[in-house]
Amino acid sequence: MKLTLQTSVLLASIFLSSCVIAVGEGQAEEHEEYAPAMGGMATVADEAQGEVQVTDASARPKPKKPVDTESLHIDLQLTQMDLQATENSVARANESAQHAVGLAERDLQLAREELDHFVNVEMELSRAESELSLDRTRGRLDDSRAELQQLLDMYKDEEFAESTKELVITRGKRGIEQSERSLELAEMRAADKREFEQARKMQSIKHKVEEAARSVRHKIEALETTQAEGEGKLIRLHNKLRLAHKKIDETAEDAN
């Protein structure tokens, strides 16, 4: 009985050992089966961690490059010089444009004065001279007619040679005819001067006034354009100068 109990204990120990060995072998096989998968997961994790590290590295702020403050001050100085030169240029352009306006306005004033003088003085003088010339011509004609009539009366009452009488009368008639022709020519000349020469001169002076007025308008427009362009240039340069000062101030703050 005692032997049988010992034998049973021994058999039980052997059975348990066999189970442990079997379980161990099974776990080893299972470990070997899942080892590649685990290795792959480890690789993916490593790659993800590497990407995170790369992303973190790229997200880091890059170190700022050193600013060339000397170049900034040179740019500032050049901008100031450019601004000064532009101010002088704009001032000269405005002065020249204003001078051109003044000359155009003077020409317009002279043209208007010429037109006024022609209408109120020259035309009146010309009309008066023409009337005086016509009056003289009419007076000579009247004198010639009166003289002829006196001759006719004189030769009618007295006895003169027929040849002398005819000569005097013929001369008197010729004088009257010439005076009539002179009067006709004087009237034609006065009409031509009034209707053609003076009308043409009037038109010419009026055209001069219109051209002078147009020139004044153009000069004023040119002045306004010059002033606007100059103001635009100065505004741009003042803004450029302001940005240059701002850049230098920001650089100084970063350095501190």
CATH number, domain with residue 224? 1.10.287
Residue 145 domain-assigned (yes or no): yes
Determine the pLDDT at residue 189.
85
pLDDT for res 62: 60
Domain membership of residue 54 (yes or no) is: no
Asked, for residue 12, whether it belongs to a domain, the answer is no
Residue 21 has what pLDDT?
A: 43
Residue 228: the pLDDT is 95
How confident is the prediction along the chain (256 residues), in pLDDT tens digits per residue? Answer: 444 444 454 455 554 555 444 444 444 444 444 444 444 444 444 444 444 444 444 556 565 666 678 888 898 899 999 999 999 999 999 999 999 999 999 999 999 999 999 999 988 888 888 888 888 888 888 888 888 787 777 767 655 556 666 777 777 788 788 888 888 888 888 888 888 888 899 999 999 999 999 999 999 999 999 999 999 999 999 999 999 999 888 888 877 6
Whether residue 109 contacts residue 209, with contact meaning beta carbons closer than 8 Å, is answered with: no
Containing domain of residue 217, as a range? 68-255
CA–CA distance, 208 with 103 (Å, rounded to integer): 15
Number of folded domains that form the chain: 1
Helix or strand run (H / E) with residue 216: helix 198-255
DSSP string, 131-161: HHHHHHHHHHHHHHHHHHHHHHHHHHHS---
Query: 27 in a domain, yes or no?
Result: no
Cα 97 to Cα 88: distance, rounded to the nearest angstrom: 14
The answer to whether residue 227 sits within a structural domain is yes
* pLDDT given for residue 69 in this prediction: 80
| Domain membership flag for residue 38 | no
Helices (H), 60-122: 69-117
pLDDT at 29: 45
113 domain-assigned: yes
33 domain-assigned: no
| Measured distance CA(199)–CA(212) in Å, rounded | 20
